[in-house]
Amino acid sequence: MEQAEPRTSSLNVNDWAYFKDQRFQYSGSDLIYIGYHTDHKAPESDENWYIWKCTYDGSNNLLRQQGPLIGAWENRTTLDW
């Protein structure tokens, strides 16, 4: 099965006013995934979540933040990171 190209988007300052719902996933005290959606009642299966992934070193220092990729929040770990 061929993997689809990841959907990405460029955001500007005015876009942040449109995000109505947010999701966060932690591993211990480290924030791993951040998700934003423009609909305050968006299901986690909706394919229009803006999702970021955070990577940490062994001392829990934030090293990298990737994204946003666009996809379903429930499928965030399978996006093309």
CA dihedral 10, 12, 16, 18 (to 10 degrees): -80
Paired residues of 66 in beta bridges: 53
Residue 20 lies in a domain: no
Residue 39 lies in a domain: yes
The tally of domains found in the chain comes to: 1
Residue 9 lies in a domain: no
Residue 8 lies in a domain: no
Specify whether the CB–CB gap between 24 and 33 falls below 8 A.
yes
Residue 81 lies in a domain: yes
Q: Which residue would you say has higher pLDDT here, 58 or 17? A: 58
Between CA 64 and CA 41 the distance in angstroms is 29
pLDDT over 70, % of the chain = 79
pLDDT given for residue 6 in this prediction: 56
pLDDT over 90, % of the chain = 72
- Confidence band, pLDDT 50/70/90 cuts, at residue 57: very high
pLDDT given for residue 1 in this prediction: 42
What range defines the domain where residue 47 resides?
33-81
Residue 3 lies in a domain: no
Indicate the pTM of the whole model.
0.78
Residue 25 lies in a domain: no
